[in-house]
């Protein structure tokens, strides 16, 4: 089998796999190439990338045997990095672009060029975190000398959405084509906007930790390992109460087929249903992700409540430094729009002055749950 490309889905990424024939000491041998994403939706670009990979492999086998044995591909360095406990997050586009390059070819020009292709609209801070940083960590882990530098530190850029934009995404999830429609996806998106939960925190949420009568959820599996309580806006309570999984218990949010999600922490990947809803609503799925929903919630919360400590507590941040990013953003009129669309991000005080919500340390009894 020669080196071939194929597409996953009608408009998905192209992948390459197969073998490349090389000649070693006059004898033909086949070098196997495992299936690898090429990072493009364009067939012509995919064909060019396939030819480039084949040429790189053939060129590598022109080296003297002793030198060839010492020369590792960047893909091999990635495997060693992961085997040593390295973080898999952000590695998919890096592997697609650089896996077949010999380690000695990983130059500043190559890294910068491929980084711009992988993240065409990214800020320098994103490239530092998601592209240059992991590549440098992989090379450092392999103890390979290099001179790579990250892009200059830029100002923080926070992407968030307005309430009308959020409604467009939720409506798009509700109006998904029947074969792709999920009864869970609109409520999951609403949960992100309404609580600021991270992806894994939402997907691992159990019905035993939902207290709909009290408009409260307890997130147990959090990024920093500390449980926290989040307030549920009433519109979100209504959406959660209609979910099919309510009668079954267990995981609150499930796949279209009703199965619990497989959670891959720090994968950096966006759920397919969210990508589809974001695209159908007219937004760029590379720019608007689950993390954008979290940015939106934090911006909304500050606009509505002006309480940085409460925002830090609800969002699960360790320091105020991250929270302060949202303090200067909310424009005039945002709080009014939030009220118009039913986004009340903190519980109202009852007549006795007690908050409707409950802290993690004193959850309401199971008998009071809905």
Q: How many angstroms separate the CA atoms of 278 and 283, rounded?
A: 5
pLDDT at residue 216 is higher than 90: yes
Locate the DSSP E strands across the chain. 4-7, 14-24, 27-37, 210-211, 216-219, 228-231
Q: How many angstroms separate the CA atoms of 141 and 157, rounded?
A: 30
More confident residue, 154 or 68: 154
Residue 96 near residue 273, CB atoms below 8 Å? no
Q: How many angstroms separate the CA atoms of 115 and 99, rounded?
A: 14
Q: What 8-state DSSP symbol labels residue 267?
A: -
| Average pLDDT taken over every residue of the chain | 84
| pLDDT tens digits, 307-324 | 999 999 999 988 888 788
Q: What 8-state DSSP symbol labels residue 209?
A: G
More confident residue, 366 or 155: 155
| pLDDT tens digits, 118-147 | 887 777 878 888 999 999 999 998 888 888
Model pTM? 0.60
Residue 49 near residue 83, CB atoms below 8 Å? no
What's phi and psi for 216, nearest 5 deg?
A: -140, 145
What integer pLDDT is reported at residue 31 of this predicted model? 78
User: Cα dist. 337→67, 178, 328, 341 in Å?
Assistant: 65, 31, 18, 6
CA proximity to 119, closest of 104, 134, 138: 134
* Token pair 């993240």: residue: 119
């Amino acid at each position: 089998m020669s080196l071939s490309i194929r597409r996953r889905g009608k408009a998905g990424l192209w992948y390459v796999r197969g073998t490349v024939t090389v000649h070693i000491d006059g004898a033909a041998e086949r070098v196997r190439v495992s299936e690898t994403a090429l990072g493009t939706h364009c067939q012509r670009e995919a064909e060019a990338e396939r030819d480039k990979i084949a040429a790189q492999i053939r060129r590598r086998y022109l080296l003297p045997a002793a030198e060839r044995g010492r020369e590792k591909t960047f893909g091999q360095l990635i495997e060693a990095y992961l085997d040593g406990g390295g973080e898999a997050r952000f590695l998919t586009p890096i592997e697609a672009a650089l896996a077949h390059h010999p380690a000695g070819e990983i130059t500043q020009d190559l890294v910068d060029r491929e980084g711009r292709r992988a993240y065409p609209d990214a800020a320098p801070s994103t490239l530092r975190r998601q592209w240059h940083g992991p590549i440098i960590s992989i090379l450092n882990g392999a103890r390979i000398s290099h001179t790579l530098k990250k892009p200059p530190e830029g100002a923080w850029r926070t992407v968030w959405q307005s309430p009308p934009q959020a409604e467009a995404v939720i409506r798009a999830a509700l109006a998904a084509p029947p074969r792709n429609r999920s009864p869970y996806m609109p409520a999951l998106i609403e949960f992100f906007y309404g609580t600021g939960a991270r992806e894994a925190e939402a997907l691992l949420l159990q019905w035993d930790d939902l207290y709909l009568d009290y408009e409260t959820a307890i997130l147990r599996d959090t990024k920093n390992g500390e449980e926290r309580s989040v307030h549920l806006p009433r519109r979100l309570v209504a959406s959660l109460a209609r979910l099919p999984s309510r009668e079954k218990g267990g995981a609150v949010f499930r796949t279209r087929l009703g199965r619990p999600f497989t959670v891959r922490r720090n994968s950096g990947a966006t759920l397919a249903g969210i990508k589809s809803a974001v695209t159908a609503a007219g937004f760029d799925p590379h720019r608007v992700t689950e993390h954008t929903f979290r940015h939106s919630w934090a911006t909304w919360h500050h606009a509505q409540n002006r309480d940085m400590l409460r925002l830090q507590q609800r969002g699960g941040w360790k320091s105020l430094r991250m929270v302060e990013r949202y303090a200067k953003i909310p424009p005039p009129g945002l709080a009014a729009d939030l009220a118009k669309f039913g986004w009340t991000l903190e519980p109202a005080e009852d007549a006795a002055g007690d908050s409707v919500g409950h802290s993690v340390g004193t959850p309401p009894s199971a008998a009071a749950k809905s």
